[in-house]
Amino acid sequence: QEELLESGGRSVRAGDSLRLSCAASGSIDSLNVMGWYRQAPGKQRELVATVTSREITNDADSVKGRFTVSRDNAKNTVWLQMNSLKAEDTAVYYCYYRTMFRTLLIGPDYWGQGTQVTVSS
């Protein structure tokens, strides 16, 4: 059973930067994808950015050029560096993990408990 522990969420002002961290533990497969989703009040959970253990990234258009996802495979840790934060980035940010086989996602989705990011304008 994989567990994801997030940290780093807090209240900031528009234009500030923030870095989220997520450490995975349990039966972590060598080929996997980790990353971040977010959910704002009254909205569906949406992709922010993910990165595979082979360093292939996938970013939402809304965060391109502002957010950067990175990881350390040896530490099973993923980070989200968020720059030029906007009020619309306010959401609960969830860490995500899923096993891969070649280019396919397999097995269940795993989620962290979520960390709140609030951006005031």
Other C-beta atoms closer than 10 Å to the C-beta of 83 total 14
Summary count for the chain: helices (H), strands (E): 0, 11
pLDDT at residue 15, rounded to an integer: 98
13-23, pLDDT tens digit by residue? 999 999 999 99
> In this predicted model, what pLDDT tens digit does every residue of 44-64 receive, in sequence order?
999 999 999 999 999 999 999
List CB contacts of 57: < 8 A, sequence separation 6 or more.
Answer: 49, 50, 51, 69
Give the residue-averaged pLDDT of 86-96. Answer: 98
**pLDDT band (50, 70, 90) for residue 1:** confident
